[in-house]
Structure 1
Amino acid sequence: MRECVRTNHYVVTVHAAEEMDDDSLTIFDVERLILAGELVERQKDKDPPETKVLIRGPTLDGDNAFAVVKLGPTGKLVIVTVFRDIYG
């Protein structure tokens, strides 16, 4: 996943872009939280069968945020949603 970010091999969903705007996050914040963050949880969906991961990490302003990401069928990282960590 980190390599996808390092090589700009990712896409941002419309939902994630809207959430970034709502929480005043930039793509640079999201890149940093994925590169410097830690995997918090794996989420397995049955329909369609796929695995998503929840990552918590720092943003550029020192706050923490979360990203839900998955590997897409083309091998690109898909940023499904992002949100600020309101508790710390």
Structure 2
Amino acid sequence: MFDNILQQIREKLDQRFYVMTLHAEEEMEDDGLSILDVEQGIFTGEILERQKDRNTGEFKYRIRGSTLEGDVVEVIVKLGLTGKVVIITVYLL
């Protein structure tokens, strides 16, 4: 359903055209994840749902994939106004 969006996200990630929020960095550290785990989660994952941000009206996407160690991770991302992927948060399941 969101294959085109996921492809765009992956291409931007591959080009290192993304930013992480401070919240995402903190959550990544709390769960013992590296940026490579986050990238792997997106590259191996699928979009489970699209959510609309209540404050901005922007769409964000919940992606579930695997870390380098094979753990299940979810990453919440959006396509920012600058065209970059914004990694909003990340967490292990």
In structure 2, the residue matched to 1:55 is 63
Deviation at 1:48, TM superposition (A): 1.1
Shift of 1:46: 3.8
Query: Match for 2:76: what amino acid?
Result: V
More strand by share: 1
What CA distance in whole angstroms lies between the structure 1 residues aligned with 2:84 and 2:14?
Answer: 12
1:79 — aligned with what? Answer: 87
Please give the TM-score of this superposition, normalised by the length of structure 1: 0.94
Given candidates 15, 22, 40, the residue that maps to 1:7 is 15
Structure 2 residue runs of 5 or longer lacking an equivalent are 1-8
| TM-score, length basis structure 2 | 0.89
Unaligned runs of 5+ in 1: none
CA RMSD of aligned residues (A): 0.7
Query: What displacement does 1:47 show?
Result: 2.5
Number of aligned positions between the proteins: 85
Tell me, in whole angstroms, the C-alpha distance in 1 between the residues paired with 2:72 and 2:54. Answer: 30
Question: Corresponding residue for 2:76?
Answer: 68
More helix by share: 2
1:14-25 superposed matches below 5 A: 14-25=22-33
